[in-house]
Structure 1
Amino acid sequence: MKTKTLLTGGTVVSMDPAVGDLVRGDVLIEDGVIVEVAERVDAPDAEVIDAADRIVMPGFVDNHRHSWQTAFRGAGADWTFPEWALAMHRTVKPHYRPEDVYAGTLLGRLEALHSGVTTMLDWYHVAQGHEHEDAAVAALRDAPGRSIFCLGAGWGTPDPVDADVRRVRSDLAGDGLSGDGLVTMALGLRGSEATGMDTVARELKLAAELGLRTSLHVDGDGASGGDGTRHPIADLHEHGLLRDTTTFVHGNGISDEELRMLADAGSSLSVSPDVELKMGFGWPMTGRALAAGLRPTLSIDDVPSAGGDMFSTMRTAFAVQRGLDGGLRSRDLLEFTTVEAARSCGLDARTGSISPGKDADIILLRTDDLTVFPVTDPVATVVSAGHPGLVDTVLVAGRVVKRDGVLVGVDLPALRTRLLESRDRIAAAAGVPLDGTWRPRPVSD
C-alpha cells in the first residue's frame, strides 16, 4: 500500500522553472517521491500536513562541512587559518577516539537537519584509522538525513588511501550506494601540492572506477600572499585532470582564466563565505565565478569558526557581493544552496527542487514569526532575514524528521551530554583551555 502525504496551503517556492512559485499551493508525496504540485490537489486518502503560514521549499544542500569538529563549536571565531590548522589538526585531532568522531558527526548532522539542511556532504579528514572512519559513517547512518561521506586523507598526509576508499565503498554499497540509500560516498582529493600530480591522477582514476564524485580544497596565491606563480587549476588543466565530477572548495586567489577552465570542464565551486572572510582567505569568489560562466554553490565549512546554518551563509555571500559590485539577486542565493549544490553532488535528479519525480526533501518555514512577518516576498525574506528558528518541519525522502520545530525521535539531552564529555576529555588530553582564552600560536609567531 502506498503512503501518501499532502502538504497543503503553503507558499510554494519550488526552485523548478517548470513548476514555478505558488502563493497558495499543495504538494502531494507518494512513497517519499513528489508526484504533484499545484494550487489545489485532491488526495482524500493522504496524511495531511497543514502548511498554512509556511513557506514550502526544497531543503538546503551543504556540499562541504567538517562535522567531526562540532564539539569545538565557536572556539575558533577569532582564529586565522594557520591558527585553525594548528588547533584542529595538530592539537586536538590526535586525541580523537572513534566515539568522539561519532558524537561530533552525529550532532553536526542533526544540527544541519534542524536548520533545514536535508543533504550534506561531510568532508572527513580526521584520518586516525578504520575505526574512526566507521564511526563517522555510523553517525551519518544514525542521522535521518541525506548524507555524503567524503573520505579524505589526513591533513597533508601522502599515505595511499585506495584500500580505505574501497573498504568504505563496499560497506556503504549495502545501503544502496547507487543512490537508493540516504548515505552515499565521495572521495576527498588531497591535491598536487600535498601528493603530486601522479597521485591526483591515480585518485581520480579510482573515483571513476568506483563511481564516486570528488572534492578538493584549493586556493591560489591570492589566498596565501604568494609570488603569483601558483596556479593549481591551470596545473590540473595542463595535465588533463579537470573533471565535471569534481567540486573545488574555496578557490580564493585563483585567476579568472582558471575559473573559466572550471566552467569549461563542468566542475563545481563551493564557496564558504563566513570562514573565508574570517580566516583571511580573501573575498569570496561568488561574483567572479558568475562572471566566468560558473554557477557557484555555498557551504558552511566548519563550526568552530562559523555558524552552521545556510541562512547566515547566504546572507554573508549576498551582502559581500552586493557591496563589491551590486550583483546577485535573492533567488541566486537560493539556487546556490539548493539546485546548484544538488547538481555539484550528482543528486540533482533526486533533490534540490520541488519537482514531480524527485524525492521529497522539503522544509517548511514559518511566516508568522515576528522576525519575518509580514512576508511580502518569500524568496527575499528567506535570504535576507531567514534563520533556523523558522524551520518548522523537515522531510527527507518524504519522511518527517522534524515536526513543529522539534527533531523526531532524537534524544537530544543524552546526545548533548555525550558531546560535552567528548569535548572535555579531548581538551584535557590536548591541554587546551575551554574558558575562551585558547588562541593557538603557530611556530612562525
Structure 2
Amino acid sequence: MKILLAGGNVVSMDTAVGDLDRGDVLIEDGVIVEVAERIDAPDAEVIDATDRIVMPGFVDNHRHTWQTAFRGVGADWTFPEWAAAMHGTAKPHYQPEDVYVGTLLGRLEALHSGVTTMLDWYHVAQSHEHEDAAVAALRDAPGRSIFCLGAGWGTPDPVDDDIRRVRSDLPGDGPVTMALGLRGPEDTSMDTVDRELKLAAELGLRTSLHTVASGTQRPIAELHAHGLLRETTTFVHANGISDEELRMLADAGSSVSISPDVELKMGFGSPMTGRALAAGLRPTLSIDDVPSAAGDMFSAMRTAFAAQRGLDGGLNSHDLLEFTTIDAAASCGLDARTGSITPGKDADIILLRTDDLTVFPVTDPADTIVSAGHPGLVDTVLVAGRVVKRDGALVGADLPALKTRLTASRDRIAAAAGIPLDGTWRPQPESK
C-alpha cells in the first residue's frame, strides 16, 4: 500500500533531507521511501497536505498514564502532596479495569495531540492482572508504545520473576515493547541497582530512573563510583544534579528526560534543559502526569523554552523540536525507526494545520510550533504508515463509551478512597 502526503511544508528533523516549503512524502507498506519537492505516484492514496506542516510525530519518554482519570485535580499540588494523593490514597483502590481504561484513554489522548511514540512509566502495580490490563490498553491503542514496568513500586522484591513474565509477553519489536523502571540510589541499595541493570541487560531492555538531588546528595556520582551508569538508561528530571554529574551522564551516553511543567509546579527546581545541553547531553521532554500538567508536547516545549530563555536567553525553537522528536527517539533506542522523516524509517508522521487562526500566517514553522502550537492543530496522525487520526478525529475509537468508562472509574475510586471531587482535595503528606 502506498500513501502520498502531497504539498505540505515538510519539517523533516533530518539534516540530510532538510526542510521543504512545499514537499511530498511517499510511504510504502508503512515505511518512508522518498521525500522530495514533487513525487509522481499515481498508484498511491493521496493525503492533501496543503496548508499543513508535515513533521515527525512527537516522542514522550515518560508518562504515568494510569492516572488519566484524575486529570487536573493536582494542578497546585507539591510533589509530597502528589505522592500522598496518587500513591497513598488513590492507588490502593485501583482495579485492573481502572488501569485499562485510564491507560487507553491516556494513550489515545497522546495520539490525538501528535505523540506517536510514548513510554508508559507504570508504577501502579497491585497484581499481575493490573500489569496485563496496562499492556492490553497499550495494544488496543494504535500507537507505538513502551511499557516501562517500574520495579519496587508495589511489585514483589525481588522483581526478576515479574519482569521476566511481562517480557515473555512482549518479546519483539512490535508496536508495544518493554523497558524496566529502575529504583535509584535514593530508594534502594547499589546492589539492587546492579542486579536490576544486569536483569535488564540480560533481557535486552532499556531502563528509566527517576532522580532529583538536593543539598549534598550526589546520586549520579554514587552510581558512577559503582560503575552503574549506562547508555541505555534515561534519567527522569535530574533537578539539582551538579554540572560534574551531568557530564558523567554525557560521558556514559545516558539520556535525561525533563518534565518542565511538573518540575516547576511541584517544587523540583528549574528544569535542567540548558545545563544538560551545556554538559554535552541531548535533553528530552516528557509530560509526567496529567493530574498536574497538560498532556501534550506543545505545552511542555513552551514551558521548557520560556523557562530556559528566562534564565539565560539560551535555546532556539528548533532545539525544542529535536528534544521532542529525534533526541527522544534516541533515548528510547528507536532513532533508527522513528523521530525524523527519513527514507527507510517508519512513517510516524503528523500533519499540523497552518490555516488555523491561532497560528495563521505561518512564516517559520519551527517558531510557530514551539511558540503557539496546540493539540487543535493536529489534523492527521500516521503511525508506521497507518492513519490513526484523520481530519482532526481519531479513527475507529469509540470515545463516548470510553469516556463513560473513565468517568465511572474515577467516581468509583474516589468513593472508595474518600476523595472529594469538588476541587477541595488537598492531600496530606506523611510526616517524617
Q: Which category describes the TM-score, using the shorter chain as reference length? A: over 0.9
Residue 309 of structure 2 aligns to a residue whose secondary structure is helix
Q: In the alignment, which of 309, 322, 337 is matched to residue 350 of structure 1?
A: 337
Q: Is the 8 A contact 2:84 2:429 kept in 1?
A: yes
What residue is the counterpart of 2:213 in the other structure?
Answer: 220
What residue is the counterpart of 1:155 in the other structure?
Answer: 153
Residue 192 of structure 1 aligns to a residue whose secondary structure is coil
What residue is the counterpart of 1:195 in the other structure?
Answer: 188
Q: Is the 8 A contact 1:27 1:37 kept in 2?
A: yes
Residue 314 of structure 1 aligns to a residue whose secondary structure is helix
What residue is the counterpart of 1:26 in the other structure?
Answer: 24
Q: CA offsets, 1:253-303, max 9 Å, x none? A: 010000000000000000000000000000000011011111100000000
What residue is the counterpart of 2:132 in the other structure?
Answer: 134
Opposite residue 15 of structure 2, the aligned amino acid is P
Question: Equivalents in 1 of 2:267, 2:306: separation in Å?
Answer: 17
Opposite residue 234 of structure 2, the aligned amino acid is T
What residue is the counterpart of 2:3 in the other structure?
Answer: 5
What residue is the counterpart of 1:144 in the other structure?
Answer: 142
Q: Is the 8 A contact 1:157 1:194 kept in 2?
A: no
Q: Is the 8 A contact 2:151 2:180 kept in 1?
A: no
Opposite residue 130 of structure 1, the aligned amino acid is H
Question: Equivalents in 1 of 2:102, 2:364: separation in Å?
Answer: 37
Question: Equivalents in 2 of 1:193, 1:84: separation in Å?
Answer: 18
Question: Equivalents in 1 of 2:114, 2:4: separation in Å?
Answer: 19
Question: Equivalents in 2 of 1:434, 1:305: separation in Å?
Answer: 15
Q: In the alignment, which of 298, 302, 310 is matched to residue 297 of structure 2?
A: 310
Q: CA offsets, 1:78-130, max 9 Å, x none? A: 10000000000010000000000001000000000000000000000001010
CA RMSD of aligned residues (A): 1.0
Question: Equivalents in 2 of 1:193, 1:410: separation in Å?
Answer: 41
1:156 to partner: Cα distance: 7.7
1:157 to partner: Cα distance: 7.0
1:320 to partner: Cα distance: 0.5
Structure 2 counterparts to residues 102-251 of structure 1, below 5 A? 102-155=100-153, 159-173=157-171, 177=172, 179=173, 181-221=174-214, 226=215, 228=216, 230-251=217-238
1:219 to partner: Cα distance: 1.1
What residue is the counterpart of 1:95 in the other structure?
Answer: 93
Residue 14 of structure 2 aligns to a residue whose secondary structure is coil
Q: In the alignment, which of 319, 324, 328 is matched to residue 315 of structure 2?
A: 328
Opposite residue 337 of structure 2, the aligned amino acid is R
Q: CA offsets, 1:157-203, max 9 Å, x none? A: 77221111111110112xxx2x2x10000000011232200010011
Q: Matched residue pairs, number?
A: 432
Question: Equivalents in 2 of 1:296, 1:191: separation in Å?
Answer: 19
Question: Equivalents in 2 of 1:391, 1:219: separation in Å?
Answer: 34
Q: Percent of aligned pairs with the same residue?
A: 86
Q: CA offsets, 1:330-356, max 9 Å, x none? A: 000000000000000000000000000
1:444 to partner: Cα distance: 3.1
Gaps of 5+ in 1: none
Structure 2 counterparts to residues 232-311 of structure 1, below 5 A? 232-311=219-298
Question: Equivalents in 2 of 1:403, 1:136: separation in Å?
Answer: 26
Q: Is the 8 A contact 1:158 1:194 kept in 2?
A: no
The reply on whether 1:434 has 2:424 as its aligned counterpart is no
Question: Equivalents in 2 of 1:299, 1:95: separation in Å?
Answer: 27
Q: Is the 8 A contact 1:393 1:405 kept in 2?
A: yes
Opposite residue 339 of structure 1, the aligned amino acid is I
Question: Equivalents in 2 of 1:155, 1:133: separation in Å?
Answer: 12
The reply on whether 1:360 has 2:347 as its aligned counterpart is yes
Residue 187 of structure 2 aligns to a residue whose secondary structure is helix
Q: Is the 8 A contact 2:152 2:159 kept in 1?
A: no
Opposite residue 352 of structure 2, the aligned amino acid is L
Residue 356 of structure 1 aligns to a residue whose secondary structure is coil
Residue 93 of structure 1 aligns to a residue whose secondary structure is helix
Q: Is the 8 A contact 1:5 1:49 kept in 2?
A: yes
Instruction: Tell which deviates more after alignment, 149-158 or 414-423.
Output: 149-158
Question: Equivalents in 1 of 2:410, 2:264: separation in Å?
Answer: 26
1:442 to partner: Cα distance: 1.6
1:132 to partner: Cα distance: 0.3
Q: Is the 8 A contact 1:68 1:101 kept in 2?
A: yes
What residue is the counterpart of 2:360 in the other structure?
Answer: 373
Residue 89 of structure 1 aligns to a residue whose secondary structure is helix
1:52 to partner: Cα distance: 0.2
Q: Is the 8 A contact 2:262 2:293 kept in 1?
A: yes
Residue 164 of structure 1 aligns to a residue whose secondary structure is helix
1:27 to partner: Cα distance: 0.1
Question: Equivalents in 1 of 2:140, 2:156: separation in Å?
Answer: 31
Structure 2 counterparts to residues 74-85 of structure 1, below 5 A? 74-85=72-83
Question: Equivalents in 1 of 2:129, 2:155: separation in Å?
Answer: 18
Opposite residue 249 of structure 2, the aligned amino acid is L
Q: CA offsets, 1:216-267, max 9 Å, x none? A: 000111xxxx3x1x10000000000000000000000010000000000000
The reply on whether 1:409 has 2:409 as its aligned counterpart is no
Question: Equivalents in 2 of 1:427, 1:154: separation in Å?
Answer: 25
Aligned structure 1 segments of 4 or more residues deviating by more than 3 angstroms: 154-158
Residue 193 of structure 1 aligns to a residue whose secondary structure is coil
